[in-house]
Amino acid sequence: MQDSIESAIDIILKSKFAIVFTGAGISVESGIPPFRGEKGLWNKYDPDALDLNNFHLNPFDAWKVIKEIFYDFFQDSKPNDAHLVIAELEQLGIIKAVITQNIDNLHYEAGSKVVYEFHGNSRKLVCPYCGKKVLAAEIDLSNVPLCESCHAVLKPDFIFFGEGIPEDAYRNSVNVSQNADLVIIIGSTGEVVPAASMPQLAKQYGAKIIEVNPEKTLFTDSITDIYLKGKAAEIMNKLLIGIKQKI
Ligand code: NAD
């Protein structure tokens, strides 16, 4: 395994179909904590709030936690340099797609166009019965939100424990993973499946793997070719500067 920015830049510039795979770590510098780890949200909140059965049985209790985590402070977060660099690399024609496990909408806000949201998106709420979707920002969340049409309790449009991956996101993610010759993994432990199987699939189909993370992960000693130890924004900025000097 190599660990240099220079080698990573060379591999990125040689790639024909580079994709990015992101986890909660890329948004830490936007002020959104990850779920796992020392400062993770599961040290403060009960993950049962995101259990589908629990949500249907106790929607009022579940919504209290959901509102606090995903709407009181996710809502105001802004993309950081790592999101912005990815969008710029897409504009330069280097990155073809982003597969993200994140539900914070920050890749779109940064300007990325081809984004597959493996776990959905928190900016919308969906009615579990009629399927109607509404923007969370337009709803008063001080009370449990109800569907205008059928009065069912609305659910955030991201997947809860016990729910399947959105079909389009899954199909598109598999497709780009099979076609990628390079995956840049940023800020993911590799512990959440089936998301973590996307970089593994790409590796089986011959892709090189560059990984950006301050800590080693399940990917690092198994599929990673180049491990860039550090925070997402700093490393992605270094990569962008190096790439721009060479193109
Ligand atoms: P994860 O697999 O997403 O892991 C977080 C990783 O980020 C860790 O490996 C950690 O070392 C790394 N990291 C921390 N700071 C970083 C930084 N500055 N730069 C780069 N990497 C950094 O695990 P999780 O937090 O348990 O999340 C599990 C799932 O929960 C995610 O896949 C996602 O669906 C959801 N989630 C989403 C968000 C979000 O939308 N921003 C936040 C929390 C959790």
Taking residues 43-47, report their average pLDDT. 81
184 lines ligand 1 (CB under 6 A): no
101 lines ligand 1 (CB under 6 A): yes
pLDDT in tens, 78-92: 999 999 999 999 999
pLDDT in the model for residue 78 = 95
SS3 198: helix
What is the pTM (predicted TM-score) of this model?
0.94
pLDDT in tens, 131-155: 999 999 898 888 899 999 999 999 9
d(CA 124, CA 36): 24
**Helices of type H across the chain:** 5-14, 52-57, 59-66, 81-91, 106-110, 167-179, 197-204, 232-246
23 lines ligand 1 (CB under 6 A): yes
User: Which atom from ligand 1 is nearest to the alpha carbon of 187?
Assistant: 21
119 catalytic? Reply is: yes
pLDDT in the model for residue 168 = 96
Amino acid sitting at position 213:
N
Whole-number Å distance, alpha carbon 190 to ligand 1 midpoint, is: 10
How does residue 2 score in pLDDT terms, banded at 50, 70 and 90? low
- Mean pLDDT, the chain, rounded, equals 93
How does residue 119 score in pLDDT terms, banded at 50, 70 and 90? very high
How does residue 38 score in pLDDT terms, banded at 50, 70 and 90? confident
| Model confidence at 1: pLDDT above 60 | no
d(CA 78, CA 60): 29
Report angle CA 132, 139, 134 to the nearest 5 degrees: 20
**Domains of the chain, start order:** 1-32+79-119+165-247 (3.40.50.1220), 33-73+120-158 (3.30.1600.10)
Amino acid sitting at position 227:
Y
